[in-house]
Amino acid sequence: DVKVTQSSRYLVKRTGEKVFLECVQDMDHENMFWYRQDPGLGLRLIYFSYDVKMKEKGDIPEGYSVSREKKERFSLILESASTNQTSMYLCASSPLGQGDSPLHFGNGTRLTVT
Amino acid sequence: QQQVKQSPQSLIVQKGGISIINCAYENTAFDYFPWYQQFPGKGPALLIAIRPDVSEKKEGRFTISFNKSAKQFSLHIMDSQPGDSATYFCAANFNTGKLIFGQGTTLQVKP
């Protein structure tokens, strides 16, 4: 069974702090994704990665960066946290395929920036 | 062009009733349309999916209806149960694995 683990369930950070959100998957998936979930806006893609050290911007990359040094780990970095980045962050992985491979999500990290 | 619009935002249905959630898209290059189900405190999980070469797909009480000409697709939950209470997301992609999600629908099934 695929397991996507996000390191923190809840995080509270101050404005201006550098924040790291960590995600690990145990199924050797090539693809990894970071989404942000906000009520009424659904899931919006921040960044994704198809391979180690490879990254591509999603729909809302501003204020975020990512790191993928190992295949199983994909980190989301908030360079200088702001209150408008208060949200639920979801990591997902999927195998390399033809677009119909299901995404396997972690349980999310609820980040509050004060 | 890449948006997927989902409605309603919330839905209340009596046990045993039919729940219907609708989605519309603009980009005709989309070729895969999944629905994800999310319970409180959990990440979304794939529920059912369809490709545009078929008009309907059924899995148990869950059915996707697809109208290619209208660029619309919908999820029907027959005999809705309290255990179906969750948030549902439609999505679409074009063969890249990168999903574009709708805004989500919170379903409450009353006993």
The pLDDT tens digits of the residues spanning A100-114 come to 778 999 999 999 999
Q: Please give the pLDDT value at position B65.
A: 96
Say whether pLDDT at B36 is over 90: yes
In this predicted structure, the answer to whether residue B95 has a pLDDT above a threshold of 80 is no
- Residues of B with CB below 8 A from A94's CB? 97
Tell me which chain B residue has its CA closest to the CA of residue A40.
B103
| Chain A residues near any Cβ of chain B (below 8 Å) | 4, 31, 33, 35, 39-45, 48, 50, 58-59, 90, 92, 94, 96-108
Degrees to nearest 5, angle at CA A24 with A107 and A32: 85
Residue B96 one-letter amino acid: T
Residues 6+ apart with CB under 8 A from A39: B104
φ/ψ of B82, rounded to 5, equals -55, -30
Nearest to B32 among A40, A50, A99 (CB): A99
pLDDT at residue B1 in the model: 54
- Helices and strands per DSSP (H, E), number in chain B: 0, 11
Position A99 scores a pLDDT of 66
Q: Is the peptide bond before A61 cis (omega within 30 degrees of 0)?
A: no
Q: What is the CA radius of gyration of chain A?
A: 13
Q: Which residue of B has its CA nearest to A95?
A: B97
**Hey, which bits of chain A come out as E strands?**
4-6, 10-13, 19-21, 23-25, 31-38, 42-49, 56-57, 64-70, 73-78, 87-94, 104-105, 109-113
Q: How far is B48 from chain A (nearest CA, A)?
A: 10
Distance from the Cα of B13 to chain A's closest Cα (Å) equals 20
**Cβ contact (<8 Å) for A45 and B99?**
yes
Chain A contact for B51 (CB, 8 A cutoff): yes
Going by the DSSP 8-state scheme, the letter that residue B99 receives in this structure is: -
Q: What is the pLDDT of residue A96?
A: 80
**Res. B39: pLDDT tops 60:** yes
**Mutation for A interface: B27, B35, B37, B103, most A CBs within 10 A:** B103
